[in-house]
DNA sequence: TTGAAAGCGCTAACAA
DNA sequence: TTGTTAGCGCTTTCAA
């Protein structure tokens, strides 16, 4: 182990408290003393032991970011922003990968790393409202990307349903009447998927178009392979769709690959739209029409909400009323690119 | 704060030590006692305070993964494997994003989070051999993706130079004689770039082809935008290349976009190859010929090496000879896809 | 098989 | 302005 405060104090010929004062930047240290201490600090290459400090302070300065998969571009991009925002506030971020598995998500909720983290930013996939409500762990938490009304916790998300409706309306406005959807989920607690499907159906209904279940088959997950596979099925239909709204960009990229290799021209023979605005879709050919959630905003807001909760939960922190459950709606934009409209 | 060992001991009517024994799964606890304790544990919802445990044990169970950007697909994919491997060994992983900035990389080397982490897996971009050698922080470290010979630390990487040579040979074998490269770096410590460039040149030389600097212009970084921009410049040359080897897949995807929008057919008019085998390149049209490093192997090996170092550095750990500097060469494969050879 | 008590390194209340 | 000291929750000798 490295040098401790005691070692430094001994070398500098002062008390532990004085060293601590210098280390923590307190005022009221005589210049001469300060200098002596700093010399000793440097000589011994002193590094505070964070475990000890945390134990004493009751805080660790670490928050967890729990998400399904780090290698899904949407989450990778989001993580970058969350980490940036957290670091700006002096926090360290550790990652919990749940793979979207119900068990792991439940573990996260019950606090596997309680006492090691001051707070948690959680992007769930499978756990539903009941499980969130049943949470006993008291670690401050902020939910991401879900929109469970009356949920017991803070959360930040875009209006998925409205965004999905807008995208579908965009496809309708191009004159398409047979519009498919890729990304429906069979798991009833897959909230995001349900909201996007609801928005899709809403738009169809408003336009007087029928909802055809065969045009919106469920997918196993949200990867490129799923999009490619389901697209193949859609193309085998007697009446294939003229346009397809994919519930995320990965699905859309997979579907695009299938469409192109099937000899279809996009958007001429088939219009394709995605959701998430990951970078891939800005460089694919054709580029991808998509919904672009303001990821930086989402990340920043989540970190701020968590900060407020953590500060509020300490003794002598902010008033309790500030700690009420709060929902923040993040911005998004519909971005039209080449996959739906030839430039 | 939650319940402490003391609280549990009081409730169960036993000593702290006994509770500790139960919690840590020691043998030699009378069944009856154990039961009592477990009941108290459950009733109070006891959770060990990790800060205290770490302070006492001198270990935190946390390792840091320091990398340039979490949102670059190669690093996102690698992170997923590193985290998987680490969690398997009971470790928690925290992320340090350096953005490839020299200052931040230096901070990582000097141990910003020393005492919070037991070890460090570091994927550097700009720091060179001298800086690695000058490191004073004693936290066990494993380097990733660099191949600095005689470096002072363990590291695991593929043979970048050989892989680059093989890829260039592949392009030559297709009959191309005017072969460009995208991804050279002006920063002299950008090791990976230099190794790939060296492999490229080696192959040219072996085939008796001239090395033309104009065909291998430097890029600012390794993103899609860089590949797209440099490709435009290459196409403006009097004699544009017939094939281009990009030093990573992102560059290749950017270059592909430029080529396609310029009306070129790939691979007929221009063959394109990448490096890294990120998932995007498996679904682009055309799919991307690339070098596929065994990421899972790299991640697992890095975690194992780190584990050995950490275990070895403790008092009474393994012998020091086991802790010597070690280089591990990971496997890779050349994967030929549509961007160089029409199927 | 269980208990008492020391001490990991740090912070902070209290004293001087 | 600086020093003394208790104690955060845990593990771990040493005794019983």
Q: Consecutive 10-residue runs of chain B (343 residues): their mean pLDDT?
A: 86 90 83 89 89 90 95 97 94 94 92 85 89 85 77 86 98 98 90 94 98 97 98 97 98 98 97 98 98 97 92 50 72 98 94
Rg (Cα) of chain A, in Å, rounded? 26
pLDDT at A320: 42
Contact call for A51 and B60, based on CB within 8 A: yes
B30 exposure class (CB count in 10 Å sphere: 0-12, 13-18, 19+): exposed
Candidate from A33-37, A250-254, B64-68, B213-217 with smallest mean pLDDT: A33-37
Separation of alpha carbons A82 and B204, rounded Å: 44
Residue B123's alpha-carbon distances to B69, B298, B310, in angstroms, are: 10, 12, 18
A247 exposure class (CB count in 10 Å sphere: 0-12, 13-18, 19+): buried
Chain B residues whose beta carbon lies within 8 Å of the beta carbon of residue A97:
80, 83-84, 87
Closest residue in B to A263 (Cα) is B285
D1 C1' – A19 CA distance, angstroms?
Answer: 13
Q: Where in chain B is the domain with CATH 1.10.260.40?
A: 5-48
Confidence of residue A276 (pLDDT cuts 50, 70, 90): very high
- B90: its two tokens: 């009971």
Looking at residues A196-210, what average pLDDT do you find?
97
- Omega before B248 cis (within 30°)? no
> From the list B62, B260, B283, which residue is nearest A285 (CB)?
B260
Range A5-48 classified under CATH 1.10.260.40: yes
Q: Where in chain A is the domain with CATH 3.40.50.2300?
A: 61-157+295-329, 160-293
Q: Which letter does DSSP use for residue B13 in this model?
A: T
Looking at residues A141-170, what average pLDDT do you find?
87
Contact call for A2 and B115, based on CB within 8 A: yes
Chain B residues whose beta carbon lies within 8 Å of the beta carbon of residue A49:
55, 115
With residue B120 as reference, give the H or E element that holds it. strand B119-122
Task: State the count of interchain CB pairs (< 8 A) between A and B.
Answer: 131
Is the CB of residue A55 inside 7 Å of nucleic acid strand C?
A: yes
Contact call for A115 and B55, based on CB within 8 A: no
Q: Which B residues in the span 170-229 are in contact with A, Cβ-Cβ below 8 Å?
A: 224, 228
Neighbours of B307 (CB within 10 A): 20
A101 at interface of B, judged by CB pairs closer than 8 A: no
**Cβ proximity of A120 and A66 under 8 Å:** yes
Chain C: nucleotides below 7 Å from protein CB are 1-13
Report the phi/psi class of residue A61: left, alpha or beta, with left for phi > 0 and alpha for psi in -120 to 50.
left
Q: Answer yes or no: is pLDDT of A10 > 70.
A: yes
B236 exposure class (CB count in 10 Å sphere: 0-12, 13-18, 19+): exposed
Neighbours of A208 (CB within 10 A): 8
pLDDT at A324: 61
Confidence of residue A325 (pLDDT cuts 50, 70, 90): low
A258 at interface of B, judged by CB pairs closer than 8 A: no
Separation of alpha carbons B71 and A287, rounded Å: 19
Confidence of residue A2 (pLDDT cuts 50, 70, 90): confident
Q: Distance, in angstroms, between B191 CA and closest chain A CA?
A: 24
pLDDT at B2: 78
- pLDDT tens, position by position, A62-101: 999 999 999 999 999 999 999 999 999 989 999 999 999 9
Contact call for B284 and A257, based on CB within 8 A: yes
CATH of domain B160-293: 3.40.50.2300
A79 at interface of B, judged by CB pairs closer than 8 A: yes
Contact call for B51 and A116, based on CB within 8 A: yes
**Cβ proximity of A82 and A93 under 8 Å:** yes
Separation of alpha carbons B80 and B303, rounded Å: 13
Q: Which B residues in the span 34-73 are in contact with A, Cβ-Cβ below 8 Å?
A: 45, 47-52, 54-55, 58, 60, 62, 69-71, 73
Looking at residues A317-333, what average pLDDT do you find?
69
**Cβ proximity of B271 and B244 under 8 Å:** yes
Contact call for A55 and B58, based on CB within 8 A: no
Q: Which letter does DSSP use for residue A131 in this model?
A: H
pLDDT at B325: 64
pTM: 0.93
Is the CB of residue A52 inside 7 Å of nucleic acid strand C?
A: yes
The CATH T-level fold of domain B61-157+295-329 is Rossmann fold (3.40.50)
- A158: its two tokens: 């875009």
Confidence of residue A327 (pLDDT cuts 50, 70, 90): confident
pLDDT at A272: 98
Q: Which A residues in the span 290-319 are in contact with B, Cβ-Cβ below 8 Å?
A: none
Q: Which letter does DSSP use for residue A34 in this model?
A: H
Contact call for B71 and A71, based on CB within 8 A: no
**Cβ proximity of A251 and A220 under 8 Å:** no
Separation of alpha carbons B200 and B179, rounded Å: 9
**Cβ proximity of A182 and A247 under 8 Å:** yes
D8 C1' – B140 CA distance, angstroms?
Answer: 28
Higher pLDDT, A327 or B239: B239
- B70: its two tokens: 């979490």
Q: Answer yes or no: is pLDDT of A195 > 90.
A: yes
Neighbours of A258 (CB within 10 A): 22
Mean pLDDT taken over chain A: 91
- pLDDT tens, position by position, A116-133: 899 999 999 988 888 888
**Antiparallel, parallel or unpaired: β A92-97 and B92-97:** antiparallel
């Amino acid at each position: 182990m490295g040098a401790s405060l005691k070692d430094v104090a001994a070398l500098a010929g002062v008390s532990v408290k004085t060293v601590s004062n210098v280390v923590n930047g307190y005022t009221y240290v005589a210049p001469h003393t300060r200098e002596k201490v700093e010399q000793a600090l440097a000589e011994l290459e002193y590094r505070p032991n964070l475990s000890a400090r945390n134990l004493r302070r009751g805080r660790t300065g670490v928050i967890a970011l729990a998400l399904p998969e780090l290698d899904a571009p949407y989450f990778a991009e989001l993580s970058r922003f969350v980490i940036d925002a957290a670091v700006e506030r002096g926090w360290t971020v550790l990652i919990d990968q749940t793979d979207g598995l119900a068990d792991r998500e439940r573990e996260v909720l019950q606090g596997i790393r309680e006492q090691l983290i001051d707070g948690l930013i959680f992007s769930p996939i499978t756990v539903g409202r009941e499980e969130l409500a049943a949470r006993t762990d008291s670690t401050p938490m902020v939910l991401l990307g879900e929109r469970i009304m009356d949920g017991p916790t803070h959360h930040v998300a875009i209006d998925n349903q409205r965004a999905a409706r807008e995208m579908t309306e965009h496809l309708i406005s191009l004159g398409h009447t047979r519009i498919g959807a890729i990304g429906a989920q069979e798991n009833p607690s897959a909230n995001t998927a349900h909201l996007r499907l609801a928005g899709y159906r809403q738009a169809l209904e408003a336009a007087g178009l029928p909802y055809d279940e065969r045009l919106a088959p469920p997918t196993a997950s949200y990867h490129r392979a799923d999009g490619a596979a389901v697209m193949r099925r859609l193309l085998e239909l007697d009446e294939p769709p003229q346009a397809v709204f994919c519930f995320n960009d990965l699905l859309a990229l997979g579907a695009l690959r299938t469409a192109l290799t099937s000899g279809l021209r996009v958007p001429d023979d088939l219009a394709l739209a995605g959701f998430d605005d990951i970078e891939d879709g800005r460089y694919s050919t054709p580029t991808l029409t998509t919904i672009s959630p303001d990821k930086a905003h989402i990340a920043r807001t989540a970190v701020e909400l968590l900060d407020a909760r953590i500060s509020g939960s300490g003794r002598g922190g902010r008033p309790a009323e500030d700690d009420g459950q709060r929902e923040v709606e993040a911005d998004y934009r519909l971005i039209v690119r080449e996959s739906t409209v030839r430039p």
